[in-house]
Amino acid sequence: MAIINDQYYINQIIEGNSNAFAVLVDRYKDLVFTLSYKMVKNREEAEEISQDTFIKIFKSLNKFKGESKFSTWVYKITYNTCLDRLKKNKKENSVVYIEDFSEHQVKAIETVFDTIDEKERNQRIQDCLLLLPSEDAFLLTLYYFDDQSIEEIAKVVDSNANNIKVKLFRSRKKMASILKERLEPEIVEYYESERR
């Protein structure tokens, strides 16, 4: 059974069938909540932001021109709603310092990751994302977990592709710094077992 595309439901809603909005909410509720949670790092706030995001989407559906994918438009509204909330709360995010990694250190992290099963690896990455500044977590989530292209991410955050590449590189380095710190005991154990 083929899935009916988003534009069909958008047209239904614009023509007055507000019940069709439930389909779009159902399709995008997990995505909106996940991105909101990555940015504000608080479940209750992420739920409120999700509701605010869907209200904004509903009220401005007639402005969606189809120049980008509907999901990209949803990401953009989610991102801006999160930024508004963060500005309103003026939350200070913890700063993660970028360390320079030698090739050997990166290899050690990868080796330890290879010994961990995929579910645990994903959980560790999710835990680390919560420790990153909001925008870094948001960008990494879009790129790695939601498979958005650099061009799509640039549209979401009103930037250009080159800036996104630089930001992603810096975000990955911050993430690597956190992973290194968290995996340090396992890396040491790996080195010791190698020497035996």
Q: Are residues 10 and 79 in the same domain?
A: yes
User: Domain containing 174 — which CATH number?
Assistant: 1.10.10.10
Q: How many structural domains does the chain have?
A: 2
The residue out of 55, 89, 123 marking a domain boundary is 89
My answer on whether 75 and 142 are in the same domain is: no
Per-residue pLDDT at 164 exceeds 80 = yes
User: Residue 96 falls within a domain, yes or no?
Assistant: no
pLDDT of residue 51: 95
d(CA 80, CA 135): 11
Supply the pLDDT for residue 117. 62
Q: CA–CA separation, 80 vs 76, rounded Å?
A: 6
Q: Tell me, what's the pLDDT at 98? A: 43
Check pLDDT > 60 for residue 106: no
The reported pTM is 0.60
- Domain check: are 166 and 112 in the same one? yes
Indicate if 11 and 38 belong to the same structural domain: yes
Interval 67-100: pLDDT, tens: 888 988 999 999 999 888 888 876 444 444 444 4
pLDDT at position 67: 81
Q: Say if residue 135 is in the same domain as residue 178.
A: yes
Which is more confidently placed, 58 or 178? 58
Does pLDDT of 58 surpass 60? yes
Per-residue model confidence as pLDDT tens digits over 18-53? 899 999 999 999 999 999 998 888 899 999 999 999
Within this chain, do residues 115 and 79 fall inside the same structural domain, yes or no?
A: no
Q: What is the CATH number of the domain that holds 51?
A: 1.10.1740.10
When the pLDDT of each residue in the chain is averaged and rounded to a whole number, the result is 79
Are residue 114 and residue 64 in the same domain, yes or no? Answer: no
Q: Which domain holds residue 51?
A: 6-89
**Contact at 8 Å (CB) between 81 and 56?**
yes
Query: What average pLDDT does this structure show over 114-136?
Result: 74
Do 81 and 121 sit in the same domain of this protein? no
